[in-house]
Chains A and B, each alone.
Chain A
């Protein structure tokens, strides 16, 4: 097993996250795609027990998962770090009503980034989520993903809180633009 995201071997952690989704009863998974989430999105689409749906913008997912919880279902929201900025006012819905809100954020703008436009929001992810009343757990190594996501699921659904897991760019692998 080679779990480096930028190697040619597929990493294990997307499969591990999907297994956690199944075992913890997550039934709705919404996303704006990021290459770091591509394998998890594929697994969720292939799972008949999960409604996996794309959004036009990340904030739609905050409303969607509030509705899911009102209807008795658990969900998760997948996005890239830039998407956190799109959600900020909508986080108030989760915090004000104490909806459990689990988001998994693949990070850009940090480890080995090429694109300067990714840096400001990448740097702002943690403070923005914390300012809005959320808790941030972070994973930078493949072996840390499973326990970190498991802990986030427990905190989100056992205590009805807004919890984000940031999956570091070191884990995902910096996007290659084939620039010398």
Chain B
């Protein structure tokens, strides 16, 4: 199943394509492999990686998107993390937040705990669930052509946008961002809000 499987995009290519032309976007990263992947593609003060709080990535993105309506907010997370926060798809769908996009690196596995199947290995379609929840644009990408369209949608589509990127490939190399939550919070606020943010 791993490797160059039919119908799956290289995990490394998916993350690189998603973040390579990154500009002003604010990025929230769900715990586990997506954090190592995104950090490997380049750590950034405007990335907020989660070390825990499984299931919360999409909601952190929503709060940020409401607070910063003129900035694009991209949540990058895994299928297991997204499955734990399915209710947040309904909450976001109801809010119709135009500057929020969610990109799920869907390898159909719990990558940090022994590669057990997630529900998406058994036919659960996250993109269709997001569409049913009221997301404006959704896509499930299984090849490089669809990946290109998905990344355009994530970066520029009218939100809320949801892209499930079906990925396979080598286990993520363990490139770690800072682990201290206060450091991650403070560097993000400083980069976004300016030096006075740390005095608040």
Q: Which A residues lie at the B interface, using CB under 8 A?
A: 27-28, 51, 53-57, 59-73, 75, 89-90, 92-93, 96-99
Q: From the candidates A56, A92, A98, name the one contacting B52 in the complex (CB within 8 A).
A: A92
Q: Is the interface of B mostly helix, strand, loop or mixed?
A: helix
Specify the chain B residue showing the minimal Cβ separation from A56.
B87
A99-B188 Cα distance, complex, nearest whole Å: 13
B189: interface (CB < 8 Å):
yes
Return 28 A-B CB contacts under 8 Å, by A number: A53-B94, A59-B56, A60-B56, A60-B59, A60-B91, A62-B59, A63-B55, A63-B58, A64-B63, A65-B63, A66-B63, A67-B28, A67-B67, A68-B66, A70-B60, A70-B63, A70-B64, A71-B63, A71-B67, A72-B193, A73-B63, A73-B67, A75-B63, A89-B52, A89-B53, A90-B53, A93-B181, A96-B181
List chain B residues, Cβ under 8 A from A97: 181-182, 184-185
Interface residues of B in 42-99 (CB under 8 A from A): 48, 50-68, 85, 87-88, 90-91, 94-95
B197: interface (CB < 8 Å):
yes
Interface residues of B in 147-200 (CB under 8 A from A): 181-182, 184-185, 188-189, 192-193, 197
- A71-B192 contact in complex given A60-B91, A66-B63, C-beta closer than 8 Å: yes
List chain A residues, Cβ under 8 A from B185: 69-70, 97-99
List chain B residues, Cβ under 8 A from A93: 50, 52-53, 56, 181
List chain A residues, Cβ under 8 A from B67: 27-28, 67-68, 70-73
A47-B90 Cα distance, complex, nearest whole Å: 23
Extra contacts besides A70-B48, A93-B53 (4): CB < 8 Å: A63-B63, A69-B185, A72-B192, A72-B193
A71-B28 Cα distance, complex, nearest whole Å: 12
**A60 pairs with B28, CB closer than 8 A:** no
**B91 pairs with A67, CB closer than 8 A:** no
**A71 pairs with B87, CB closer than 8 A:** no
**A67 pairs with B181, CB closer than 8 A:** no
Pick from A28, A65, A75, A97 the residue with the most CB of B within 10 Å. Answer: A97
**B52 pairs with A96, CB closer than 8 A:** yes
**B94 pairs with A54, CB closer than 8 A:** yes
A75-B64 Cα distance, complex, nearest whole Å: 11
